[in-house]
Structure 1
Amino acid sequence: MTDGYLLNLRTFREVRDDKAQALKPLEEAAEAFGAWQLHDGVRQSQIMTARRAYRQDLIDECMDVVQAVVNLLDAEGFTQEDVDAAIGRCNARNWERGRL
């Protein structure tokens, strides 16, 4: 288990405050789940090339999710201060629920 990840993603040059931008994280999350499903049986494989391919596909799809969320935050005009405050609230909720 890790204590979190330090992520530093830049937003795309052009983001829009529209429905398509808002739906993008959902689309990317579905692709991340699809990558997990596709390779579910391979996770414990002794064939290293299969495991590497699974891990790379999954992490790439997960980063696409994060990228889509970062783009949506930017399209909505959130600042780093807003994000930091939201992370604090999220951590507090998860602490209260016994998840952290």
Structure 2
Amino acid sequence: MQYIKLGGVRAFPGAVPDKAQALKVLEEAAEVVEAFKRADPGDVLPVARQFPDCNKRILPLVDEIADTIQACCNLAAALGVEDLTPYLARCEERNRERGRYGD
């Protein structure tokens, strides 16, 4: 199984647990989909797997993924969550139970 290193994410000050904050996650996720469409996955993805840090053709897509993570962390912070580690572990366990990791 491959792990993706996230590093620390600094939440925006003043994030509040409201509908606008939740909708920001959806907005950013939609931008990921649009960037994916523009990236021409048939051409870009094999190269991206070989050179993920050097491939400028996928940089807009990866930037949008990062924006989505930022929006999710802002919402978590607005809810008073300072450490997502146990929640990510719960997510991994659910996915393991569903056979999504192939082990």
Give, in whole Å, the separation in 2 of the partners of 1:71 and 1:6: 15
Partner of 2:63: 60
Q: Give, in angstroms, the shift of residue 86 of structure 1.
A: 1.2
- 5+ residue gaps, structure 2, are 48-53
Give, in whole Å, the separation in 2 of the partners of 1:79 and 1:53: 33
**Residue pairs, 1:1-100, within 5 angstroms:** 2-40=2-40, 42-43=43-44, 52-80=55-83, 83-100=84-101
- 5+ residue gaps, structure 1, are none
Task: Give TM-score, length-normalised by structure 2.
Answer: 0.78
Partner of 2:50: none
Contact 1:35–1:54 (8 Å) recurs in 2: no
One-letter amino acid of the counterpart of residue 56, structure 1: L
Give, in whole Å, the separation in 2 of the partners of 1:60 and 1:73: 20
RMSD of aligned alpha carbons: 2.3
Give, in whole Å, the separation in 2 of the partners of 1:78 and 1:22: 15
Task: Give TM-score, length-normalised by structure 1.
Answer: 0.80
Query: What is the aligned length?
Result: 94
One-letter amino acid of the counterpart of residue 70, structure 1: C
**Runs of 4+, deviation exceeding 3 Å:** none
> What is the identity percentage for the equivalent residue pairs of Structure 1 and Structure 2?
40
